[in-house]
Amino acid sequence: MKFGDILVVLAIISIVIIIIIPIPLGALDVLLSFNISLALLILIIAMYTEEALQFSIFPSILLISTLFRLSLNITTTRYILSKGTAGSLIDTFGQFVMQGNAIVGFIVFLIIIIIQFMVITKGSERVAEVAARFTLDAMPGKQMAIDADLNAGLIDDREARERRKKTQREADFYGAMDGASKFVKGDAIAGIIITIINIIAGFIIGWAGGLELGASISKYTLLTVGDGLVSQIPALLISTATGIVVTRAASEGNLGNDLIKQMFNQPKVMFIVSGVLFVLGVAGLPFFPFMTLSLGFLYLGFQLRKELKKSQEMEVPDVVEETAEEKRKPENVLPLLNVDPIELEFGYGIIPLADAGQGGDLFDRLVMIRRQCALELGIIVPMIRLRDNIQLEPNQYIIKIKGIEISAGEIVFDHYLAMNPGMADGELEGIDTIEPAFGLPAKWINEQEREKAEIFGYTVVDPPSIISTHLTEIIKRHSHELLGRQEVKKLIDNVKENHSALVEELMPNQLGLGDIQKVLKNLLKEGVSIRNMVTILETLADYSNATRDTDMLTEYVRQALSRVITKQFIMGQPTKVITLDQGLEQRIIDSIQQTERGNFISIDPDIVQRILNNLSYQVQKLTSLGEQPIVITAPIVRLYFKRLTEQLTSDLIVLSYNEVEPTVEIESIGMVNI
Give the pLDDT of residue 349: 86
| Common-topology check for domains 342-480 and 489-560 | no
Give the pLDDT of residue 397: 93
Q: Cis (ω within 30 of 0) for the bond into 574?
A: yes
Tell me the DSSP string of 192-246: HHHHHHHHHHHHHHHHHTT--HHHHHHHHHHHHHHHHHHHHHHHHHHHHHHHHHH
**Which residues does residue 445 pair with via DSSP β-bridges, in sequence order?**
416
Give the residue extent of every domain in the chain. 4-133+179-261, 264-325, 342-480, 489-560, 567-674
Global model pTM greater than 0.85: no
CB–CB of 354/400 below 8 Å?
no
Sign of torsion, CA 656 547 597 403? positive
User: Which portions of the chain are predicted below pLDDT 70?
Assistant: 1-4, 52-53, 94, 96-103, 105-106, 116-117, 119-132, 134-136, 138-139, 151-154, 174, 178-181, 184-185, 206-218, 246-264, 311-336
Class of domain 567-674: alpha beta
Tell me the DSSP string of 598-665: EEEE---HHHHHHHHHHHHHHHHHHHHTT---EEEE-HHHHHHHHHHHTTT-S--EEEEGGGS-TTS-
As a whole number, the mean pLDDT across the chain is 80
Give the pLDDT of residue 533: 92
197-219 pLDDT, tens per residue?
777 777 777 666 666 666 666 67
**Which residues does residue 99 pair with via DSSP β-bridges, in sequence order?**
none
CB–CB of 221/106 below 8 Å?
yes
CATH homologous superfamily of 342-480: FHIPEP family, domain 1 (3.40.30.60)
The CATH code belonging to domain 489-560 is 1.10.8.540
Q: Count CB atoms within 10 A of the CB of residue 438.
A: 11
Give the pLDDT of residue 52: 66
Give the pLDDT of residue 81: 74
Give the pLDDT of residue 11: 81
For the stretch 37-41, contacts whose Cβ atoms lie closer than 8 Å and that sit 24 or more positions apart, written own/partner, are 38/65, 38/68, 38/234, 39/65, 39/233, 39/234, 39/235, 39/237, 39/238, 39/241, 40/237
Listed in sequence order, the residues at least 6 apart from 655 whose beta carbon sits closer than 8 Å to its beta carbon are 565, 569, 630, 631, 632, 633, 638
- Distance, in Å, from the CA atom of 38 to the CA atom of 29, rounded to the nearest integer, reads 14
Give the pLDDT of residue 336: 65
Sign of torsion, CA 517 523 527 531? negative
CB–CB of 630/621 below 8 Å?
no
